Copies of this chain bind each other. A is one copy, B any other.
Amino acid sequence: MKQVVTIEELRRSRAQLEPPVGFVPTMGYLHAGHISLVELAKKDCATIVVSIFVNPTQFGPKEDLSAYPRDIPGDLKKLKDAGVNLVWLPTPEIVYPEGFNTWVTVEGMSEPLEGAVRLGHFRGVATVVAKLFNAVRPEKAYFGQKDAQQVAVIKQMTRDLNFPIEIVVGPTIRESDGLAMSSRNSYLNPMERKAATVLYRALSAAQTAYSAGERSGETLRTIMHQVIEAEPLAKLQYVSCADRETLRELDRIANGALLSMAVFIGNTRLIDNIVLHATNNK
């Protein structure tokens, strides 16, 4: 497994990789969710490139950039074991050199939900992903459904800017008790870790109501709200029942609607989502 830092090194190494090249961009502190994207990429692609870069421009001024967990040696071992060919570890100065002044903005779907509470977040995401795409030039790029709005934003950007890259979305990987895997789960103390299952419990309660025939977006939002409120360590930031491409809130729902939420467990902000699906008994 080759490791590179500069864009010039990346381009030289990339030029020698057998196509199709699959690309998994990450912020490091890798867990089974990231590795599942590498495994997914290996099914379609001859060679795999992973980037590790904690992107400062997608963090707000009061967010956890400096505290964001990092473990480069552990990450490299996991990627080597997973059969990755090339790892790119750029510095912030390489990605954002002095005088950097260009931004990619996806209007509309960047504005609600995460975009409303994390101002500028998706501008940072879209900008860094455009840069990573131009630096790596993969045939396919892999993102996790865990960040559902990010997936929608990146798909729209890729289409709108004519990147010749296929976006592939991997399913959310969960702990055995349902908690969605996230690097931020490492912030939770044991009591908080237990309380954090409330996100998936709330999503599951809404899916159960949907499976039983409930079709009101407002009712599903209320159900999720109530499950979260019942958990003393949880503080709800938002719940949503939206179209999964436009992120617009829905009144009447159908299969494929996106249920999502952001919840503080103590000081740790967690997000989760599911896409509503039909069940056998309906």
A-side residues, CB < 8 A to B, are 7, 11, 99-109, 126-127, 130-131, 134-135, 137, 156-157, 160-164
**Which 6 A-B pairs rank lowest in CB-CB distance, beginning with the nearest?**
A102-B160, A134-B162, A135-B162, A101-B107, A131-B162, A101-B108
A interface SS class: mixed
Q: Which residue of B lies closest to A135 (CB)?
A: B162
Measured between beta carbons, the chain B residues less than 8 angstroms from A105 are 102-105
A102 in contact with B164 (CB, 8 Å): no
Copy number in the complex reads 2
Task: Check if B162 sits within 8 Å of A7, measured CB to CB.
Answer: yes
Q: Are B163 and A102 in contact (CB under 8 A)?
A: no
A156 to B98, CA, bound (A): 12
Task: Judge whether B160 and A101 touch: CB under 8 Å.
Answer: yes
Distance between A116 CB and nearest chain B CB, rounded to angstroms: 17
CB of A117 to closest CB in B, whole Å: 20
Question: Are B106 and A104 touching (Cβ within 8 A)?
Answer: no
Query: In the complex, are the beta carbons of A102 and B134 less than 8 A apart?
Result: no
In the complex, the answer to whether B101 meets A102 with C-beta atoms within 8 Å is: no
In whole angstroms, how far apart are the Cα atoms of A121 and B105 in the complex? Answer: 16
Measured between alpha carbons, how far is A199 from B160 in the docked complex, in Å? 38
The answer to whether B131 and A161 touch across the interface, beta carbons within 8 angstroms, is yes
Contact among B103, B126, B164 with A134 in the assembled complex (CB-CB below 8 Å): B164
B7 to A160, Cβ gap below 8 A? no
A162 to B8, CA, bound (A): 11
Contacts of A135 in B (CB 8 A): 162
Determine if A102 and B162 form an interchain contact, defined as CB atoms under 8 angstroms apart.
no
